[in-house]
Amino acid sequence: MDFALSPEQESIRDAVAKLCERFDDAYWLARDADGAFPNELHQALAAEGFLGMCIPQEYGGSGLGITEAAIMMQAIAQSGACMSGASAVHMNIFGLNPVVVFGTHEQKTRMLPPLIAGREKSCFGVTEPDTGLDTTRLKTRAERRGDRYVVNGQKIWTSTAQVADKILLLARTTPLEGVRKKTEGLSLFYTTLDRTKVEVRRIEKMGRKAVDSNQVFFDGLEIPIEDRIGEEGRGFEYILHGMNPERILIAAEAVGVGMVALEKATAYAKERRVFGRPIGQNQGIQHPLAENWMELEAARLMTMNAAWLYDRGDNAGAAANAAKYLAGEAGFKACTQAVMTHGGMGYAKEYHVERYLRESLIPRIAPISPQLVLCYIAERVLGLPKSY
Amino acid sequence: MRTNGRGLFLATVERPALIQETARQPMKILVPVKRVVDYNVKVRVKSDGTGVETAGVKMSMNPFDEIAVEEAVRLKEKGAATEIIAVSLGVAACQETIRTALAMGADRGILVESDVDLQPLAVAKMLKAIAEKEQPGLIILGKQAIDDDMSATGQMLAALLGWSQGTFASKVTIEGDSMTVIREVDGGLETVVLNLPAIITTDLRLNEPRYASLPNIMKARKKPIDTMKPADLGVDPTPRLTVVKVEEPAKRQAGKKVGSVAELVEKLRNEAKVI
């Protein structure tokens, strides 16, 4: 058993960290104020080839695994970019995996290179206002009319839809009444986000202001049949394929957010002097920080374990869910502690840790609540009866 | 040597610059790269005073060597060189340092593996042996390594090979079979013209090293690294210098704040006794 990163993985981590140094806390503080999309980071990562990390080499990517992607996403978040940096490219890294796995050669040649080059951005339309994790009940309809589909309906929490050129969309092609199993009859599309037929409304939210979250309304969006990924009616199955990698990446991002908060808190604890000694000399300050480090490191190891399982082709469900839970909680706790360690200063924006705290709620809540992870582990790992 | 009155020294008559930098013939560049404690790490002295702690410490390429690799890659991109060879001498893990150079754009690597503490003269002798075999037109080294700060290997290598040297370079221009190097010296900048083959050691302002891109990190994995031992180069690497003792610098005493200029003058005169 070898827990060390390979030299190549270390190079990736160091290269990403170095690239992110160009975008310092002042940059992210400004984006938190003006809400502008971090195009500069997106373009810099594209220019150095990092957006194609998990895309096969024949389509211009590097063909690496989710392990390397997780290492990269942790490095981005840990640079202080937190979720604002990670979410700006998250979709590029693994979002198009259904296209990679189920798309035709023609589709891959058409869809993947512009994304890798940073010429196009894309978003992911799955969640609906009335159907959160109960995905099979989603109501957005795509009706077949000749050589195209016409889409009507609504999505919510679609990240980056303000700036995206393309959307990966899950919609019902056969009504629930017409299918044997409710997981059937959903289809997956990767198509142009035609803003004459789609309205995108930004949701004002607690953190990650730079990367927009939206409500998306479809009013007769036409999708050519060649933009359908795989077979009609099997979209849910295709989407499920990407669930574990997404949890793994989110976990890595949460660890990164927690780690940078811990770095800031530790530095402050060493430097801030009260009653003639650094506050970090007090066990009341240092013990919680030590605990944060242990929890973050444990979450990181679980994340790497899940990534390793996934890349070997083993079932990563339990590990990926556990990693996302542990990292979400540890990241949030470390950010809270970082604010508390700074005392009053922690509440001031210019000390940055309050921004980290606001962003740390995202990997805690998304893409699945901590409670549902507990349900999953109870049911699938411990064999307890389903509770909902 | 003459000065132009602005602190700029001109060593020789400058040649007319050619419009385009051209290589006379296929030219190899040799770039030695050293594995050192990362510049971000706070160095700790070993408890027995024999050196600094390196176990479990993050190691990286010497920053001046990164500048050397970058300069070589830029010269190759301009068509002034055809091949870049990164050489590292030391423990087996120096291979990682070579991979970093390969990811930046070097074409192949040479690792001279040795567990002995390699000192500048031994390194220079081994580099001489490699240079004689590879016949590079140019060797670019960092001006010093940030661990021992010897700043000796480049100069020793130039002497052993009998080549010209442009040390502490802040600008390098190749024109046919000669090279103009602007050097950072105490009084300002000194311009020297060297005949190739030559040695350059890099100063901080020569360039800003690039980030390794992901495709280049991937390519680096497939580039070849030759491994050899000091004996293969006919060099005895046994240290000639003895380290007597390594210790932490003395703790700096806290300063004093003064309330007025008068108080400052009084203290300088009566306490520090410097005026």
**Beta strands B108-113 and B225-228: pairing type?**
parallel
Cβ contact A49–B103 (<8 Å): no
User: Could you tell me if residue B262 is inside a domain?
Assistant: no
A23 touches chain B (CB under 8 A): no
Cβ contact A8–B100 (<8 Å): no
Q: Is the peptide bond prior to A367 cis by the omega test (within 30 degrees of 0)?
A: yes
Name every chain B residue with its beta carbon within 8 A of the beta carbon of A48: 211-214
Give the mean model confidence (pLDDT) for residues B92-96. Answer: 93
Nearest to B215 among A7, A14, A62 (CB): A62
Rounded Cα gap, residues A223 and A168, in angstroms = 12
* Residue among A16, A21, A43, A48 with most chain B CBs within 10 A, to mutate: A48
How far away is chain A from the Cα of B99, in angstroms, using its nearest Cα?
A: 8
Contact B160, B125 (CB under 8 A): yes
Say which residue the tokens 């006919």 belong to: B234
Report the residue of chain A nearest B222, measured CA to CA: A8
Q: Is B46 helix (H, G, I), strand (E, B) or coil?
A: coil
Is B236's pLDDT higher than 60? yes
Rounded Cα gap, residues A191 and A212, in angstroms = 20
Residue A137: predicted pLDDT: 86
Residues 6+ apart with CB under 8 A from B27: B80, B81, B82, B83, B136, B137, B138, B196
Beta bridge partners of A191: A167
pLDDT digits (tens, 9 = 90+) for B110-145: 999 999 999 999 999 999 999 999 999 999 999 999
Nearest Cα residue to A221 out of A240, A199, A237: A199
Q: Is A368 helix (H, G, I), strand (E, B) or coil?
A: coil
Q: What is the domain-level CATH number for residue B185?
A: 3.40.50.620
Is B104's pLDDT higher than 90? yes
Give residue B255's pLDDT band: very low, low, confident or very high (50, 70, 90).
Answer: confident
User: Could you tell me if residue B105 is inside a domain?
Assistant: yes
Cβ contact A11–B218 (<8 Å): no
Residue A171: predicted pLDDT: 96
Rounded Cα gap, residues B44 and B51, in angstroms = 9
pLDDT digits (tens, 9 = 90+) for B46-57: 888 888 888 888
Rounded Cα gap, residues A34 and A12, in angstroms = 31
Cβ contact B213–A10 (<8 Å): no
CATH of A237-381, one of 1.20.140.10, 3.50.50.100, 3.60.20.10, 1.20.1070.10: 1.20.140.10
Report the residue of chain B nearest A10, measured CA to CA: B96
Give the mean model confidence (pLDDT) for residues B147-157. Answer: 94
Give the mean model confidence (pLDDT) for residues B221-232. Answer: 95
User: Could you tell me if residue B48 is inside a domain?
Assistant: yes
pLDDT digits (tens, 9 = 90+) for A57-78: 999 999 999 999 999 999 999 9
Domain boundaries, chain A: 7-116, 122-233, 237-381
Is A217's pLDDT higher than 90? yes
Structural domain harbouring B214: 27-247
User: Could you tell me if residue B22 is inside a domain?
Assistant: no
Rounded Cα gap, residues B272 and B275, in angstroms = 8
Give the mean model confidence (pLDDT) for residues B237-252. Answer: 89
Check whether domain A122-233 has CATH 2.40.110.10, yes or no: yes
Rounded Cα gap, residues A307 and A9, in angstroms = 13
pLDDT digits (tens, 9 = 90+) for A15-30: 999 999 999 999 999 9
Give the mean model confidence (pLDDT) for residues A283-292. Answer: 98
ipTM above 0.90, yes or no: no
User: Could you tell me if residue B11 is inside a domain?
Assistant: no
**Number of domains chain B is built from:** 1
Name every chain B residue with its beta carbon within 8 A of the beta carbon of A53: 214
pLDDT digits (tens, 9 = 90+) for A301-360: 999 999 999 999 999 999 999 999 999 999 999 999 999 999 999 999 999 999 999 999
**Beta strands B188-195 and B8-10: pairing type?**
parallel
Rounded Cα gap, residues B145 and B252, in angstroms = 25
Is A224's pLDDT higher than 70? yes
Is B2's pLDDT higher than 70? no
Nearest to A11 among B95, B103, B215 (CB): B103
B185's enclosing H/E stretch is: strand B178-185
Question: Of B86 and B268, which is predicted with more confidence?
Answer: B86
Return the CATH architecture of domain A7-116: Orthogonal Bundle (1.10)
Residue A41: predicted pLDDT: 97
Residue B22: predicted pLDDT: 47
pLDDT digits (tens, 9 = 90+) for B15-74: 444 444 444 567 999 999 999 999 989 888 988 888 888 888 889 999 999 999 999 999
User: Could you tell me if residue B272 is inside a domain?
Assistant: no
Cβ contact B99–A62 (<8 Å): no
> Which amino acid type is present at position B61?
M
CB atoms < 10 A from the CB of B44, how many? Answer: 12
Nearest to A11 among B95, B100, B215 (CB): B100
A53 touches chain B (CB under 8 A): yes
B212 touches chain A (CB under 8 A): yes
